[in-house]
A and B are shown apart, each in its own frame.
Chain A
Amino acid sequence: MANTTPKSLRRRMHSVMFKAPMMITCEEFESFILEYIEGDLSPRQKMIFEMHLRVCAECRAYLKEYERARALTEAQRNIESTEVPDDLIAAILAARGA
């Protein structure tokens, strides 16, 4: 239980901070992530997004893992099927002749 206090305290501090002008909540930050990555935010939205990123360690960690997961997904692109059965090639070539 000892480490739940700092977390709840930090959350309370956040909830006060997020009400300041130009500040967004983590939930709002979440809804901007895709557009941020794709470069679809306006300069003002981008600034607000990056401001939250600077003050919020949770969202920083979250975005880093999100990007890492995306990179690992993209790496799947390089996987080729190694087993190619001869009868499949034969069937494809037979259909070509027909």
Chain B
Amino acid sequence: MDQNLKMKHEIYEDRAFVSDNIGWMLAVAERILNDRMHAEDAVQNAFQKIWAGLGNFEGRSTLKTWMHRIVVNEALMILRRSTTRKESPIDPLLPQFDDSGCRIEQSLVVTETPESLFSNAEIATNVQNMIMQLPEKYRIILILRDIEGLSTAEVAQILKISDSNVKIRLHRARSALKKLLEPVLGEFNG
């Protein structure tokens, strides 16, 4: 291949590589950062790391998994730098028990198909907004474990906390989100 043609081919490949992956990468960064501009920065940084490391990519995971971890890390890096907003405590959203350890809960009639009340898109938007209401140290763990699919050990390593701490926060985050989602999940029973 002549030099000029080879260069053109590489430029075309680079462009296709970026357009194939930028959509999901932006979505990951936006979920973590909840800010479009910061998410774009994270993705831009991630591509730099990806291109710098592509030659040494060892194939121990799939290319997409490897890229996914890079964009997660870049987003978390920006998150740590950005100022933390004032947050309300998670406790009012956690389940309540009486003195004998019995659950005090307004029970719900779970509608078998909440889809009948809300469209899938409405539900997805609702879920997204409710996740954003969780205090950050819970929100991040919920996102990394339940949406991004990282293991407990991976999350513990990235956030530099213990496995059991990850599990405790994950359970609280899920419980709190369940509470916040009650209007979507069903109607109150009495």
**Chain B residue contacts of A64, Cβ below 8 A:** 110
**Chain B residue contacts of A65, Cβ below 8 A:** 108, 110, 178, 181-182, 185-186
Contacts between chains A and B (CB distance < 8 A), count: 138
Question: Once the chains bind, are B27 and A80 in contact (CB under 8 Å)?
Answer: yes
Question: Once the chains bind, are A69 and B101 in contact (CB under 8 Å)?
Answer: no
Q: Does B167 contact A (CB under 8 A)?
A: yes
Question: Once the chains bind, are A61 and B178 in contact (CB under 8 Å)?
Answer: no
* Given known A-B contacts A59-B103, A82-B23, A96 and B14 have beta carbons under 8 A apart: yes
Question: Once the chains bind, are B19 and A26 in contact (CB under 8 Å)?
Answer: no
Main secondary structure of the interface of A (DSSP, over half): helix
Partner of B107, one of A57, A74, A81: A57
Question: Once the chains bind, are B171 and A34 in contact (CB under 8 Å)?
Answer: yes
Question: Once the chains bind, are A69 and B100 in contact (CB under 8 Å)?
Answer: no
Question: Once the chains bind, are A81 and B178 in contact (CB under 8 Å)?
Answer: no
Question: Once the chains bind, are B127 and A75 in contact (CB under 8 Å)?
Answer: yes
- Which 4 pairs, one residue from A and one from B, show the smallest C-beta to C-beta distance? A25-B101, A15-B100, A26-B103, A81-B26
